[in-house]
Amino acid sequence: MHKLISTFGLFAFATTLFAQSPFVGTWKLDTAKTKYTTGEPPKDVTLVIEEQGDNLQVTATGTNADGSALSVKYTVPVKGGAGQVQEGPYDAVSSKAISAKVRENSYSKGGKEVASRRGE
C-alpha cells in the first residue's frame, strides 16, 4: 500500500512539472484588462493558443476598431523572442515573457512597430 501511495504521489508531482503553458486555450478579449501601448484596440477578438513544442501557435479572429475583419496567425517562443507570422497584416511579431502569467507582444510592419499588447 505504501508503494502504491508513493507511486501515485510521484505521478501527481510529475504531471504538474509537465503542465502546459497557462496561456494555452481559447480566450475572448477583455478590453478592461488588456493594455495597448500603440495601435487602436479591436472591438472583439477570440484567441486560440496552442503549445507546439517550444512555441505557442496563436490564431486570432475578430473585428478591428474600424469594423473590418481581423485575422492573424503566428508562432512565438514560449520563453519569449522573435516569432513567425503566417497570416495577417504584420510581417513580424515578438513576444516577451514578463512573468509566468503575463506576456507582452509587439507587432511590426516594414520594420516599424504598429501594435503592442500586454496580456495576463
pTM > 0.75: no
Count the Cβ atoms, other than its own, within 10 Å of residue 34.
14
Close Cβ partners of 89 (under 8 Å, ≥ 6 residues apart)? 72, 109
62: confidence class by pLDDT, cuts 50, 70, 90: very high
Could you report the per-residue pLDDT of 63-101, keeping only the tens digit for each? 988 999 999 999 999 999 999 999 998 999 999 988 888
Q: Can you list the domains of the chain with their CATH numbers?
A: 21-119 (2.40.128.20)
pLDDT beyond 50 at 8: no
Hey, is 74 helix, strand or coil? Answer: strand
Phi and psi torsions of 11, nearest 5°: -65, -40
Q: Look at residue 58 in the predicted model and tell me its pLDDT.
A: 94
